[in-house]
Amino acid sequence: MGRDYHFKATGTDLLSKTIDFLRFPLIVGVVFVHTDFSNIVMAGVKQFSFVDLPFFARVFFMFFKVIFGVRVPLFFFIAVFLFFYRTEGFSLKIYCKKLKNRVHSLLIPYIFWNLAVLFFLFLAQTFLSGSLVSGENKLMINYSLSDWLWSFWDTSQINHHAEKSLPVNSPFWFIRDLIVVVLLSPLVYFLIKKIGIMAVVLLGLLWCYSPYFYFPGMSTVSFFFFAAGAYFSVYKMDFVVLMRRLLPCAVGFFALLIAAEFYFLGKSWWNYLYCANVIVGLVLVVAITAHFIQKGSWRPNSFLAKGSFFIFAYHRLPLVFVIKFLFNLIHPQSEVALICLYFACPTIVIVLGLLGYRLLKNMFPRFTAVICGGR
């Protein structure tokens, strides 16, 4: 990397504005991806299959894998970049200080929001009709002590039909995995300082080989993008300036990758296209954002940036109920109706989340700051 990519006074301003601006659209992407109609179960009955809905399946694929596929990698990248940002060395004292800060920004919200979901799930199982609950999960009144503990880490140990190992507030797998890589940050720092870019390359190859490897608290995606963000931060390289200059190339490559992903879908090597799409998409998202911020066309909104974590933390359970309520109300029979619902459900949840955040912030500002990690 050349000197032009190192932190400068003007570049730092663009860097912070780009990161602040991205917080809200990335969370919007998270909510859209979690608007998953493929496994809607009400009263123990699955509602429909994508096999019968080819056009809607393509729309869902476009948003799930292509448009918003970059959301988690970019969140890891930014979170770790900020973790090491302007850190001179990595002594035990610095490590302990950073861990103490992450107790407030990660651990306390993690515990609170999982407890909140447990509470509302208990209310739902107790008072709601069978049409609005799946009927698949173990009743909480029958939970053992180990079930309660597993709720905060891996609910597949409680409900064995679960396909993924997620905490009860399922989006918080990201926070769980981030906590793990933060705990292991001295190891990552040592590798970055010892072998430099090769540490990122090796973890990147591991991710490309198995992009969906997932063990509770550890995943290839978390470690690769953790290392990538750490590399830029440790060596004081402004990733926004670099990616901004790659904008023309990123646009062309991203368009080609989208076409290739659809054309070669189902091939045994398709995952390599997916990984390339994520990396190029990450560059493209950062580059476009920086481009329009630098031109003055876009500017970060403080309220949306700060409210993003609240939407992330609260959205999963309300989204499930909004989806099931609208399905019960409308009984969609056409692909057009499903597409309308696909956009309506996350929009309703996001708007309600912003209203709820505003209300809580006005009435209980300190409490809201605590449950949102000081954001």
Higher local confidence (pLDDT), 331 or 315: 315
3: pLDDT strictly greater than 50:
no
Phi and psi, residue 158, nearest 5° = -100, -50
305: pLDDT strictly greater than 90:
yes
132: pLDDT strictly greater than 90:
no
CA atoms of 225 and 174, how far apart (whole Å):
12
pLDDT tens digits for range 265-274 = 888 888 899 9
pLDDT tens digits for range 71-111 = 889 999 999 899 988 777 788 889 999 999 999 999 999 99
3-state secondary structure the chain: CCHHHECCHHHHHHHHHHHHHHHHHHHHHHHHHHCCCCCCEECCEECCCHHHCHHHHHHHHHHHHHHCCCHHHHHHHHHHHHHHCCCCCCCHHHHHHHHHHHHHHHHHHHHHHHHHHHHHHHHHHHHCCHHHCCCCCCCHHHCCHHHHHHCCCCHHHCCCCCCCCCCCCHHHHHHHHHHHHHHCHHHHHHHHHHHCHHHHHHHHHHHHHCCCCEECCEEHHHHHHHHHHHHHHHCCECHHHHHHHCHHHHHHHHHHHHHHHHHCCCCCCHHHHHHHHHHHHHHHHHHHHHHHHHHCCCCCCHHHHHHHHHHHHHCHHHHHHHHHHHHHHHCCCCHHHHHHHHHHHHHHHHHHHHHHHHHHHHHCHHHHHHHCCCC
pLDDT tens digits for range 229-245 = 999 999 988 999 999 99
CA atoms of 315 and 345, how far apart (whole Å):
11
| Terminal-residue alpha carbon distance, the chain | 33
The chain-wide mean pLDDT, for the chain, equals 86
Q: Give the per-residue pLDDT at 110.
A: 96
Q: Give the per-residue pLDDT at 9.
A: 41
Q: Give the per-residue pLDDT at 54.
A: 76
Question: Which band of pLDDT confidence, cut at 50, 70 and 90, is reported for residue 155?
Answer: confident
Q: Give the per-residue pLDDT at 162.
A: 63
Q: Give the per-residue pLDDT at 140.
A: 78
Q: Give the per-residue pLDDT at 256.
A: 93
Question: Which band of pLDDT confidence, cut at 50, 70 and 90, is reported for residue 27?
Answer: very high
